Each structure stands twice: as C-alpha cells, then as structure tokens.
Chain A
Amino acid sequence: MTPPHTRIRELEAKLAEAQDTIKALLSDQVDAIVDTSSGTPLLLSTAQSALRDSEERYRRILETTQEGIWLTDANGSTTYVNGSMAAMLGCDALSCVGKQHADFLDADESQRLTYHVRGGSPEPIALRFERPDGTSVWTLFNVVPVRDHLGAPDGLLAMATDVSERRNSARALRFEQERAQQVLDTAEVFLVSFDIDGRIVLVNRYACDALGQSVESLIGRSWIESCVPERFHDGVRARFAALLEGDLSVVENPIVTSSGDERLIEWRNTLQRDEAGAVTGIFSSGVDVTDRHRAAEDLRAAEERIRFALEAAGIGTWDQDYASGTVQWSEILEAQYGLAPGEFDGTFETFAGLVHPEDRDALLTTMDAAMRSGSDFVTHHRVVHADGSVRFIAGAGRVLLDDRGQPLRAVGISRDVTDREDLERRYQHSQRMEAFGQLAGGIAHDFNNILSVILTCGEFLLTDLKPRDPARADVEEIIKAGRRAADLTRQLLMFSRKQVLAPRVFALAAVTEGLSGMLERVVGEDMTITYRHDGELGRVRADPGSIEQVLLNLVVNARDAMPTGGALTIETRNETVGAMPPASLQPASLAPGRYVVLSVTDSGMGMDKATQLRVFEPFFTTKAVGKGTGLGLSTAFGIVQQSLGAIEVQSELGAGTTFSVYLPQVDDAPDETLTLRAVGGSRGSESILLVEDEDQVRTIARTILERHGYHVIEQRSGAGALAHCRQAATEIDLLLTDVVMPQMGGPELAKRVAEIFPHIKVLFMSGYTDDSVVRHGVLKGESDFLQKPFTSAELTHKVRSVLDGEPPSGPVRVVSASRE
C-alpha cells in the first residue's frame, strides 16, 4: 500500500506532466499523440498536417535525389540527411541527426572543410568521409549557407556527390594504363600511340631505346618533329593524313635517333576510335627493317655482280619450271641460240626446234635421263640459227626433284664453244698431219740413202757405157725411175716439213713469171691459163723453190680436175685478213694481218665438203689407183705451213675449185734476184774431208768427187775425222759431212774441226734432218746444206760453190713436174 505522501507526489508529478503536455501541445512542440484507447497504439498527427504535407512533398524530392542532402543548423548540428547522404555515410539517417560534419571526417579533411566553408567558395570541394565500418567515401561536397525568413544565417545546406566510383575508376584506369605500359614495354618492337595531331600519347621502352630518348621527353611531342629526319617530314605527314582517312596499308617510314642514325621502320597501323566511332588516334607497331633493306641491297648488288660475271664470261642461264612447263632464258642464252633479247617464248618445243637435227635425239635422251634420276647432266650439241649458221653449244644442267621424286625445276648454264670446237678440230687435224708427216719422213729418210746409191750407180754406169751400147737405154730407165722416186721422197719430206728451206724476200710475181713456161707445158693444149696479177704486189719471205713447187702442184691438181680441158686462172693479189671467220672449213688458222695471196682456180668438177676436209692429207686422192700419188697437195700444204702461211680451198661441186695460198707480207727489201743455177762446170782439185757413216753413200760420194778431180779423204766417223785432222800434214779445204751420225754429229764435228782448221769450209749433207741446229743454221744463212739424195751434178756443184765462197743457199733447185 503506497503511503499517502508518496501518492500525492505522484499525482503532482502527473499533473505537472499533464500541464507540460498541454503546454507542449499548445506551443506546437509535439509531433504526435499516442492514442491507446483502442488497445493498439495509434499515432495521431497534430494540427501541423497541412504544413506537414507540403513538407512531405519537399521531403520526397529530397529523398529521391541521388545527391546527398545534408542540413545542419547554425551550430553545425545535423538536422537532416537524406537517404542518399545517409547511404554515403554508411549510417541510418536518424543516427546522423545531431552530429557534426566533423564526426564523419578525419582531422585533415575536417580542417579543409572548415577552411572551405569559411572561405565561402561556391565551388565544391573533394571531401573524403569516414564510414563507421572503416571504409571511406569520396565526395564532391558543395556547401551553401541557409538563411531564415529574416535573412539571418540559419545553418548550412550541403549537397554531396559520391565520386568514389569515379575516383576508383580513375585509379583503376591508371592501373590499367600502367599494366598496358608494362605489356608494351616487354615487346621488342616499336609500339607508339598517336593522337590525331600526330602527338605521341604512348610509347614503349623499345621505341624509346631505339630513338635514344626518354619516355618523358617523347610523350606529348609531335612524332614527326621529334623522330623523323627533316627531309621526310612532308612525306610522313602525307602518310599520316592518309592513315587517318582510313588507308591502313603497311608503310615504311624512316626515323632518326638522337645520335643522328637513320633507320627504316616498317609500320603497321590501326585506328583508335571512341564510342561514337570517331577517330581519336592511331596505334602503330613498327619493325626495324633497315638491315633487311641493306641485305636486300647487298643481295641486289650480289646478283648484279653475278650477272656481270656471267655476261663477261658469255655464260647463258636457263631455268625451267616443270609445274608450268615454262623455261626462262637469259639474254645471253637467247643470243647463243640466235634469238633477239626477249624473243624466246619459253617453251620446250621452241628450244628443241633450235637444236641441230642430228644432235637433237641424243640431247633429249640425256635430258630425259637426268629428269628421271634428278641428277646433273652436261650437254654438247649444235644449234642452228635462223640465218642458217651453226654454233656449238656446251652446257651443264641440274634437275631438282620434289619429295615424291617428280621433277620440280631444272636450271643450267650454257656456253658457245664454236671457237673451241674449231680449235679442237684444227688441232686434231694438225696432229693427224703431224703423224703423217713423221711417218712419211721416216720412210723418206730410209729411201733417200737407197736412192742415192741407185742414182749415182746409174750415173756411173752411164759414164762407163759406150754411147751406142744397148744397155744404155736400160740404165737410163733406171736413172729415170730413180729420179722419180727421189722426187717422191722429196715431196714426202716437204710435206713432213722436215725439208730445210732457205727463205728469201722476194715478190711472188717472180715465181709465177719464172714458172709460166713450165706450167704451159704441164697443162697441155686443152687448157688455157689466165694470169691475173695485182700491180703492186707485196713481198714475201719464203723459199722460192718451194713456192714454185707449190704452184706447180696446184696447177697439176687443177689440170687433173679438168680431164676434158677447161679454164685455169692464176691470180696474185694483196689481201688484209681480219679475224678468221669461224665458219671456215679450213684447218689452217690465219692470224690477222697483211698477206699476199696466190690462187689457182679451175673450172673442173669441184669437191664436196667431205673431200675438201681431207684434200691435204697425204696419199688422199680421188683419182684411180696408179694415177697420182696423192702427195701434191700435201706437199704444198707442208711448204706453205713452214713458210708461216696458210692454204685455203673453196669448191663447189660441178662448178670448180680455187686453192688460195696466203703468205705473210713483209716490207723488207728483196734479196738478190733469183737466178737459176746453171748446170755446168764443177771440177776442182781441193782436198775434201768426207765423213759419212753409211758406207755405200760414202763410197759413191767419194767416187763422184774423185772423178771430178778432188782429193778426197774419207772417214767413217767424226772421231776418225778428228784424229786425221790432228795428224794431217796439209790443210783441208772442205769438210763434207753427214749430219746425223752416231756418237758425234756433223755440226759438232764441224765445230771441232774448225778449231784445228779455222779456214775450213763446211758442207752438211743429210737425207732427213730434224737437227734444228743445221736447219737453223741454214735458215739463217750460216751453213751450207746438201739434200740427199743428190745427183752427182748436185753434189759437185754444191761443193764447188761452197769452195768458191759463195753465200750459203738452199738445195739446188731442180724443179721437176712429176706426175701427180
């Protein structure tokens, strides 16, 4: 039970409270009344509802906006925050009421805000609020003073925009940029980003290193101004513009480094666009191709060098692609096949068509085999040019197979070896002739000794027989036969070029004129000889007698080509020879220069090409057996060769033949006029030392000489001769010695005898000498020489002339028109 005084106090309190309540109600300090009459509490709003409604309207606006709204009173206490603000602050709106701004800021931020508010700036400030959970929110905070209806300051209205996200994305963006830069920097190519003005936005480390500049010094700068050599500025600018227009073709643009080096960069570009699709810049990646360019240049230079080399060496090249079947030829190769540059159509058929028909099959077979086996091959064939000329082509080729063993490609080289072929042919020909010569010479040598015996014995017989002796006729036959045989062997020797000649400088006309009589006799009546002489004929250096022999042999040959008569022309002229035409069939090769030409032309049956090739071979004859020995032309050939000239034949079947003898023209003064040695007296009484190892020849020689009054000392060998000389009581006038003797040859003997008898005269004799000393001596006009076989007249005359001290001369000319 409550004591009465307590109860009274309670009632008093309640009354006071009721009074308070009524007061509060009346003074509009109450928001709502709680009505508990119905058991469920009901909140009844007070009479401020109308105002409340309009307030409600504003409240709704404030609540719906995204912006944070923060009202504080004059003391800075929060009277209201809207939902957005509360969310930003991470609090319930109600719990914010009564708090200060500073309750949500750290010391620095709070200071900044105070400063800002005091400064009265209408600009927002960036402000970071701390949330109860420890996170922060970045805002743009805009504070304006609020005034009451009297205009007095009544607190602050703040509007806040949450920029945390923006800030975070800015940070995220920066982070992304850094990451992008890292990626860029690991690349080993130029990576540059430009804005549409050509300024550098991004540049990677590689580019900076290459340019020799730092990132800082490049960012924001104009690429063209900073990194491109000045003379290329306009060009690069134009490319840039084209790029922005959408031309994204790969370009090569130069850069210049900080040290002045220029490099060539190959750029690949893409356009950067914003969300609307407008171009905002260019992103480029570049590769340094300077070295590649230099390498390409070097390659070009190397290819050119190869091309020059091929051209200089006259080597043509070809390249065949089996897939397409086409062949490519170099210009040199085209020329080798007689085509103009570019004329070759690239087909195998055309190529095969140009090959000489006789060589085609072999060539194609070779190439086929190579194609199947994929091996290298060599070729050697003739080609026929459009103008009919024939060239020899030598080549080599290589076939490349694919991995299935099918031919893929073939390449090769080719050379025109016509000249070499020519040379080879001539060489072979001359080798053959050489062989013939040696054979002939060998035979002739042996024969000569035998013939000497026959002839001189025959002469002895004649001198011993009485004039009317019937045996005389037989002996004369023997001699005639012997002489004929001697002629033959001499011709053989002439052919084999072992003949010793005594060259003189003379005009060719002298030969033709001197011989004209004999020639008329030789050709007979059915034939006419026409002479054509160039007035100012040049001089030649040759052995006149041998040239006469040549002319004679040619005329005989011409005569035999016209069995029923005809016309014969002998012509002499000067001629200057240029480079030898390669198409010539003649084995002789003629150096360019001035020549005197002696030609003999007949209107006879002519010769085909095969015959022409063989016409100078000894014993080659088209005549029937027994009619001619086939030596005439060989002899002529040999003589002319030895005289440093050449002999050519031109002939047409059925039309006739011309033989032309080319002798080098000399400008030396002519030697003494030729004179035919008169055959006459030849006796003497001097002492002659006769040295000859062949007994028969020696005996005969001695007999001849003694019959002509000479005192002859005969010796079998050089040793014996020397021994005699040392013991000789009297002087010896002449040494007549063979050249080729065992142990001591003639020249050696002569030298040693000359030591004993300084004034002794020397006469060498030999049937076959390749003793170059003697030949040399005779050619130089130093020694006298007697050719075996000799007639007694030849021997005695020669001995006489030597003893008489006449200048050395060649063998006494006995020109005989032997039957050829």
Chain B
Amino acid sequence: MAVRQRSKKATLQLRLYVVGDAPNSVRAIVNTRAICEKWFVGRYELEIVDMVKFPHRAMADGIIVTPTLIRLAPPPVQRLIGNLSDMDRVLTALGAQ
C-alpha cells in the first residue's frame, strides 16, 4: 500500500522502500518522517512502498537492498541505503544543506 503525505507545494518527492515492519525499515520510516516534518514541512511527498506486498516495484526501481530511500525530485535522483540514522548524510542527499 502506498501512503502519500500530501503537501501544498510538493517540491521534494521521496520514495521509501521497506520490508514490512522490519527494524531497519521501521527506523528508516521514522527518520524519514522526522526529517521531512522538520526540514520540509508542507513541501514534501513521501511514498512508502512495502516490498513484502509489492516486490515487483523493487525491480522497477532497481532496488537491491531495503530499506532504500529514493529522491525522485528535484533531480538528480538520489539513493540512500540503510535506516537513515545518519542525519547529516540524509540531509545532504535530500538537499537540505
């Protein structure tokens, strides 16, 4: 199931691939949400894709490991692997810094 977070001006488009409620997946979700709410509130779109339910989507995006966060917009497309606990790295990848 895809859950979209609606925002007024969707400048940041994110897609997070997780595996059910596996610990890293959970962490990744938590962290992603936290960062979005803190730095991009009202300006982001977050889609969470559960690989257990939608394994084929992994192939479409060429996902190898989960959790993987993909920044779809603004370009360039960025990929982040892991539970995204390293805040700085995430922020850099997302273009907050």
Contact = CB atoms under 8 A, between A and B. Distances in A.
B3 A21 contact: no
B81 A21 contact: yes
Given A34-B63, A34-B65, A79-B26, A98 B81 contact: no
A332 B32 CA distance: 115
Contacts of A79: 26-27, 30
B66 A41 contact: no
A13 to B, nearest CB: 8
Contacts of B26: 79-80, 97
A93 interface: yes
B30 A29 contact: no
Given A20-B80, A77-B33, A80-B26, A93 B63 contact: no
Contacts of B30: 73, 77-79, 97-98
A303 B28 CA distance: 102
A187 interface: no
Contact of B65 (A33, A78, A94, A95): A33
B29 A94 contact: yes
Interface string A42-77: 110000100010010001000000000000010101
Nearest to A51: B23
B65 A32 contact: yes
Nearest to A59: B21
Nearest to B36: A98
B33 A92 contact: no
Contacts of A36: 58-59
Interface in A73-109: 73, 75, 77-80, 92-95, 97-99
Nearest to A33: B65
B94 to A, nearest CB: 15
A31 interface: yes
Contact of B67 (A27, A30, A42): A30
A815 interface: no
Contact of A94 (B23, B48, B64): B48
Given A20-B80, A29-B24, A34-B64, A41 B59 contact: yes
A34 B63 CA distance: 7
Nearest to B52: A43
A521 B28 CA distance: 173
Nearest to B57: A41
Contact of A25 (B27, B63, B65): B65
A252 to B, nearest CB: 73
Contacts of B80: 20
Contacts of B59: 34, 36, 41
Given A79-B26, A80-B26, A92-B3, A30 B34 contact: no
A30 B21 contact: no
A55 B24 CA distance: 13
Contacts of B33: 77, 97-99
Given A20-B82, A24-B81, A79-B26, A30 B1 contact: no
A17 interface: yes
Contacts of B45: none
Given A24-B65, A92-B1, A94-B3, A30 B58 contact: no
Interface in A1-18: 17
Given A80-B26, A94-B29, A94-B48, A30 B63 contact: no
A77 B34 contact: yes
Contacts of A78: 30
A contacts with B: majority SS: mixed
B19 interface: yes
Contacts of A31: 18-19, 22-25, 66-67
B21 A93 contact: yes
Given A34-B65, A99-B33, A17 B81 contact: yes
Contacts of B91: none
A30 B82 CA distance: 5
Interface in B43-97: 48, 50-52, 55-56, 58-59, 63-67, 79-83, 85
A32 B66 contact: yes
Interface in A92-130: 92-95, 97-99
A94 B24 contact: no
Contacts of B27: 79
B56 to A, nearest CB: 6
B64 A33 contact: yes
A530 to B, nearest CB: 154
A23 B83 CA distance: 12
A98 B59 CA distance: 26
A79 B29 CA distance: 9
Given A34-B55, A92-B1, A94-B29, A29 B22 contact: no
Interface string A518-535: 000000000000000000
B24 to A, nearest CB: 5
Nearest to A35: B64
Contacts of B32: 98
A30 B3 contact: no
A43 B67 CA distance: 12
B29 A97 contact: yes
A176 B59 CA distance: 60
Nearest to B85: A29
A400 B76 CA distance: 119
B81 to A, nearest CB: 4
B66 A30 contact: yes
Contacts of B51: 32, 34, 41, 43
Contacts of B81: 17, 20-21, 23-24, 29-30
Contacts of B85: 29
A34 B66 contact: yes
Nearest to A24: B82
B58 A41 contact: yes
Contacts of A99: 33
Contacts of B25: 31
Interface in B8-27: 18-19, 21-27
A78 B19 CA distance: 17
Contacts of A27: 82
B50 A32 contact: no
Nearest to B89: A20
Contacts of A93: 21
Contacts of A80: 21, 26
A29 B83 contact: yes
Nearest to B79: A17
B55 A30 contact: no
Q: Which among A29, A41, A95 has the highest number of chain B CB atoms within 10 Å?
A: A29
Contacts of B82: 20, 23-24, 27, 29-30
Contacts of B55: 34, 40-43
30 contacts: A17-B81, A20-B81, A20-B82, A23-B81, A23-B82, A24-B82, A25-B65, A29-B24, A31-B23, A32-B19, A32-B22, A32-B65, A34-B63, A34-B64, A41-B55, A41-B58, A41-B59, A43-B19, A43-B52, A43-B55, A48-B23, A78-B30, A79-B27, A94-B21, A94-B29, A95-B3, A95-B48, A98-B32, A98-B34, A99-B33
Given A30-B67, A34-B66, A95-B48, 5 more contacts: A29-B85, A36-B59, A79-B27, A80-B26, A97-B21
- Across the A-B interface, give the 10 residue pairs with the lowest CB-CB distance, nearest first: A98-B33, A29-B82, A31-B22, A24-B82, A41-B55, A24-B81, A31-B19, A30-B65, A20-B81, A98-B30
